[in-house]
Structure 1
Amino acid sequence: MTEFKKYYLDLVMVPLSFMIYVFYHLWLCHKIRTQPVSTVMGANANARRLWVSTIMKDNEKKHILAIQTFRNTIMGLTLMATTSVVWCCGLAAIISSSYSVKKPLNNSILGAHGQFMVALKYVTLLVLFLFSFMCHSLSIRFIGQVNYLINCPEDSTIITSMYVSELLEKSFTLSMIGNRIFYCALLIMLWNFGPVIVLLCSLTMVPVLYNLDYLFGDTKKRKTMAY
């Protein structure tokens, strides 16, 4: 019973924070599938499909534009992948060390402060940053393929604008997943200051993401433009 009193805040608030974050993104995925034009992701995906089709139809004049666009996108993805792997290296060094940085920051902070709990926080952070790095690396791989295929003539029965668009969407989907995992790592970083802050951060982050992910306005007009 004494051990439970030390851990009950972590056992309740941290899983609740993750559930709020995960359920929001499950709902977002449902909206992207059923009402894509009401979300930023769906509207951008439709715009990218039109952009790829336009580039491939007028390839001789717009191939430089495509290369420059992908170059800028790859630079952004590389920055996120590099940031994730740097965090992984730092966390691996902390986990394998015996320095006082592994100890709790302040004994007065609410929540558990045992060695197991501290190790759990760092290992969870490491796993999240590893997954973020993997998603951004795969995104770079797919966009690298698109960089070559978009300059192919559309007369081919295999290399069509639809096929190139699907590869591009896989790249951006992986990039979004990597970014959201990176944001989720913020919750674990704040866990070092106590589980209450994790819950408050989750309750704050979801409304912010909601305003960034959804388009507010005339949905019927956007549906007409999309089709």
Structure 2
Amino acid sequence: MEWRKCYLDVILVPSALLMSIAYHLWLWRTVRTQPHRTTLGVNASVRRNWIHSMLEDNDKKNILAVQSLRNTIMGSTLMATTSVLLCTGLAAVISSTYSMKKPLNDAVYGAHGEFMVALKYVSLLALFIFSFFCHSLSIRFINQVNILVNVPQDATSLVTASYIHLILERGFTLNTVGNRIFYAALPLLLWIFGPLLVFLCTLTMIAVLYNLDFLFSASANDPKIDHANQNAVCI
């Protein structure tokens, strides 16, 4: 494959992936060190309080706890199903001989060879498979919490509030990872039409995620809230 045909793919696509990875590494570090600045950190703290609230008055709130967890399971199931359907469609396109598998040379920048086309579809297939894997594990953990949250609490019980919170956080963490992998596949989906769209879509997505992941409020500058949330976050 000649350099003049694939230099845009070699430069723009890895750059887009590195930007996305760097952003999420920075987000992870911020969640660990300053959880009050992020929605992920604040939500983790709220979930800990929610678990304690459900366990303190379980006789009256057991139905509420089950329904809340069921809604989360439904969201993960939807994403897992969507990932499987996309994997099935991509597998059908890869194994087919239709002309739709070959992009139009006049409308696409970058390489058009068979190897590059195969790389595009296989990369998408791998991301959607990993997204399905994460959502499946998330459903498993949250289903486990669905049972543990209604276990009677006593001095000899092995099922404590901290243990239930740990299992719940694993489920939500896997849910978040599965969603982010799914989002990362969206720019690569545009790679079918050229690497320039991948780069631009990644920049746009990072800007959107930044505004959704980080909090901009007066409480974000309060060190007392930061210290409290650091003790509560487990992600």
* Deviation of 1:37 (Å): 1.1
Partner residue in 1 for 2:199: 199
* Deviation of 1:225 (Å): 6.7
Local SS of the residue matching 1:107:
coil
Residues 39-81 of structure 1 deviation map (CA, whole Å, 9 limit, x = unaligned): 0000000000010011011110100000110111111110000
Matched, 1:39 2:38: yes
- Contact in 1 for aligned 2:107/2:193 (Cα 8 Å): no
Partner residue in 1 for 2:226: 223
Alpha carbon RMSD of aligned pairs, Å? 1.4
Matched, 1:149 2:152: no
Q: Structure 1's 54 and 21: CA in aligned 2 closer, same or farther, altered over 3 A?
A: same
List aligned pairs for 1:32-181, cutoff 5 A.
32-155=31-154, 156-181=156-181
Percent of aligned positions that are identical: 58
What is the TM-score with the length of structure 1 in the denominator? Answer: 0.96
- Contact in 2 for aligned 1:84/1:133 (Cα 8 Å): yes
Local SS of the residue matching 1:192:
helix
* Deviation of 1:129 (Å): 0.3
Local SS of the residue matching 1:153:
coil
* Deviation of 1:224 (Å): 7.0
- Contact in 2 for aligned 1:107/1:113 (Cα 8 Å): no
What is the TM-score with the length of structure 2 in the denominator? Answer: 0.93
Q: Which sits farther off after the overlay, 31-40 or 102-111?
A: 102-111
* Deviation of 1:105 (Å): 3.2
- Contact in 2 for aligned 1:77/1:136 (Cα 8 Å): yes
Partner residue in 1 for 2:7: 8
**Count of aligned positions:** 226
| Long gaps (5+) in structure 2 | none
1-side partners of 2:121 and 2:104: how far apart?
14
Q: Which sits farther off after the overlay, 60-69 or 99-108?
A: 99-108
- Contact in 1 for aligned 2:34/2:226 (Cα 8 Å): no
- Contact in 2 for aligned 1:138/1:174 (Cα 8 Å): yes
2-side partners of 1:163 and 1:225: how far apart?
19
2-side partners of 1:81 and 1:95: how far apart?
21
1-side partners of 2:93 and 2:168: how far apart?
37
Q: Structure 1's 72 and 116: CA in aligned 2 closer, same or farther, altered over 3 A?
A: same
Residues 11-57 of structure 1 deviation map (CA, whole Å, 9 limit, x = unaligned): 00000000000000000000010011110000000000010011011
2-side partners of 1:225 and 1:76: how far apart?
29
| Long gaps (5+) in structure 1 | none
2-side partners of 1:120 and 1:163: how far apart?
43
Partner residue in 2 for 1:209: 209
